[in-house]
Amino acid sequence: MIRQIVLPGTFLAEAGSKKAGKGTFIENDAIYSARLGILEERGDYINVIPLSGAYEPSIGDTVIGIVEEAMRNAWLIDINAPYPALLGVEESPWKINYGETAKYLKAGEMVIAVIARIDEARNIELTMKSKPCRKIEDGFIIEIQPTKVPRVIGKNASMLSVIKKYTGCWIFVGQNGRIWLKCPDERLGLAIEAIRKIESEAHTVGLTQRIEKMLRDRNG
């Protein structure tokens, strides 16, 4: 079964009857969809949950970033967003002397960080002074479409629990679509397969049961 899919320009409702939520726009007293996504009615609001699209950073998001450059006083980090992100030395968990940033984080290395500030010019500032933040030293990283992240986590982390249960993997999901996995055995492949399946079927209903069934059948 599939929820209702709408396209850019699809008419959703008259502007008087509902409020225009995420992914919509108003034109001539009518609400239309701006994105290719799933129609969701939440109280008075009509939202369109996008099925694809770039990661849109929000303050407070926990992300997995790849260091692009170690500068004198900060690192330039790629967080899979249309805008560059900066991690200043004062926001890192280490005490760093000027110019010694590369000793702690080099280009190509990965970190878990939190988005602390986004200014009017959309420059992003990260911090590593929050709980889950750390440098990533081992494990496996995959990238999925950021719009599918909520589905991979599931309601109350239900989907993640199912994957962890049948693969024994430790999984950390970044809001920017990057996922860090640490698996004790070859079931890493199974975990990745499950995540990819969720990514491609995110718009369907009954997905958690289907994933659980697939993992159970393959676990024998």
Binding of other proteins by 82 (CB under 8 A): yes
* Phi, psi angles (nearest 5°) of residue 34: -100, -10
Return the number of the residue (35 or 151) whose C-beta is nearest other proteins: 35
Site string for other proteins, 13-42 (x = CB under 8 A): ----------x-x-x----x-xxxx-----
Q: Which one of the spans 82-90, 95-103, 127-135, 184-192 is the region binding other proteins (CB under 8 A)?
A: 82-90
Q: How many residues bind other proteins (CB under 8 A)?
A: 27
Q: Which one of the spans 45-53, 65-73, 133-141, 149-157 is the region binding other proteins (CB under 8 A)?
A: 45-53
**What is the SS3 assignment for the chain?**
CECCEECCCCEEEECCCCEECCCEEEECCEEEECCCEEEEEECCEEEEEECCCCCCCCCCCEEEEEEEEECCCEEEEECCCCCCEEEEHHHCCCCCCCCCHHHHCCCCCEEEEEEEEECCCCCEEEECCCCCCEEECCCEEEECCHHHHHHHHCHHHHHHHHHHHHHCCEEEECCCCEEEEECCCCCHHHHHHHHHHHHHCCCECCHHHHHHHHHHHHHC
Binding of other proteins by 2 (CB under 8 A): yes
Q: Do the beta carbons of residue 88 and residue 74 sit within 8 Å?
A: yes
Site string for other proteins, 144-183 (x = CB under 8 A): ---x------------------------------------
Q: Which one of the spans 76-84, 100-108, 125-133, 164-172 is the region binding other proteins (CB under 8 A)?
A: 76-84
Binding of other proteins by 96 (CB under 8 A): no
Q: Which of 84, 88, 93, 154 binds other proteins (CB under 8 A)?
A: 84
Q: Which one of the spans 4-12, 107-115, 162-170, 181-189 is the region binding other proteins (CB under 8 A)?
A: 4-12
Binding residues for other proteins (CB under 8 A): 2, 5, 7-9, 23, 25, 27, 32, 34-37, 50-54, 82-84, 121-122, 147, 201, 203-204
